[in-house]
Amino acid sequence: MRLTCLGTGSPESHAERASSGYLLEVAGQRLLLDCGGGVVSRLIEAGFRPADVDHVLFSHLHSDHMMDYARLVHAHWDEGGQTEERVLQVTGPAPIATITQRLFGDQGAFAFDLTARCELQGSKDVWVARGGQLPRPWPKPQVQEVQPGIKLEGPGWRLTSCSVPHAQPHLTCMALRLESDDGKSLVYSGDAALCPELEALAEGADLLLHWCYRHDEEDAPAFIRRMSPTPSEIGAMAKRIGVRHLALTHFRSAVDEADGLLQRMRSAGQAAFGGPVTMASDLLAIDI
């Protein structure tokens, strides 16, 4: 298993951090966990093409976790990732099917573009020259809407999940646990408050990739304190449940702008965890 961090930022614009997205290579498959703004560019910078992605898994549908979804689906299709034998798999909470339909359906936002690409003679010529066949089908990602608690099996991997408190009741929010057949495990918190369900899901994980929106030195309103654990709170939780390696991510611009803050956050997490703590950055790869 290899995790490549493609987007380790927040919704804020940030030159060094795209919004949330992580590529997991497992058993020859390429799974993309979330697809926030800037993630597709990072995917390309990491040496992959959108067409290389087999499966997109969403933790939740906040914009910073799905803003590049349209770009990914379109490029996956336009660059030949979709064939008669292979379509892009998409798994996430509702309303991902509605969103997909509103982007790529007959009346979707891209219907005008897709009509032009599939019907204009010049576009058809380009498609055939690239090895495509006519008539050209539209993008048809295979979308599966799931509830937290879903268990799923792919070729060489298994997914389990749980609900995590974050943006309910407006959005369904999940943490994801991916396990490979050779016994390695990654747990991705998505955006999550501390909760018993996540502790159960992440128990003994080889790598816990946990969002970290808040640091220990800042004061915050009660709601944000409850919903956004600090490095020391996350580290203490990771220690309680026997995680082997903790990676923190989803950083705001202010974290990078304040002198030495990122390092102090890492130290706080490490002091509470007692094990290795990695501060994620875009294009950082971690072997699991």
**Minimum distance from CB of 188 to Zn ion (Å)?**
13
Strand order across the beta sheet in which 174-180 lies: 152-154, 157-163, 174-180, 185-188, 207-211, 246-249, 277-279
14: region left, alpha or beta (phi > 0 left; psi from -120 to 50 alpha)? beta
80: left (phi over 0), alpha (psi -120 to 50) or beta: left
* Residue where the block lists tokens 């026997």: 242
Range in contact with Zn ion (rule: CB under 5 A) among 61-69, 146-154, 196-204, 224-232: 61-69
With respect to Zn ion, which residue has the nearer C-beta, 62 or 245? 62
The β-bridge partners of 90 are 56, 143
Check binding of 62 to Zn ion (CB under 5 A): yes
Stretch that binds Zn ion, among 69-77, 83-91, 148-156, 184-192 (CB under 5 A): 184-192
Does the footprint of Zn ion cover residue 177 (CB under 5 A)? no
Query: What Cα–Cα distance (Å) separates residue 32 from each residue in 6, 83, 130?
Result: 9, 19, 26
| Options 26-34, 55-63, 89-97, 142-150: segment touching Zn ion (CB under 5 A) | 55-63
Residue whose CB is less far from Zn ion, 172 or 232: 172
CB 13 to Zn ion: min, Å: 17
Q: Rounded to whole angstroms, how far apart are CA atoms 22 and 48?
A: 12
Give the binding-site size for Zn ion (rule: CB under 5 A): 2
Tokens standing for residue 84: 């008669």
Supply the minimum distance, in Å, between the C-beta of residue 20 and Zn ion.
8
**Nearest residue (CB) to Zn ion, 65 versus 117:** 65
Give the x/- contact pattern for Zn ion in 134-173, rule: CB under 5 A.
----------------------------------------
Which pairing describes strands 185-188 and 174-180: parallel, antiparallel, or unpaired?
A: antiparallel
When the beta carbons of 212 and 272 are compared against Zn ion, the nearer one is 212
By CB under 5 A, is residue 191 in contact with Zn ion? yes
What is the smallest separation between the CB atom of 149 and Zn ion, expressed in angstroms?
A: 19
The CA-atom distances, in angstroms, between 12 and each of 37, 60, 64, 69 are 10, 18, 9, 18
Give the interface with Zn ion as residue ranges (CB under 5 A).
62, 191
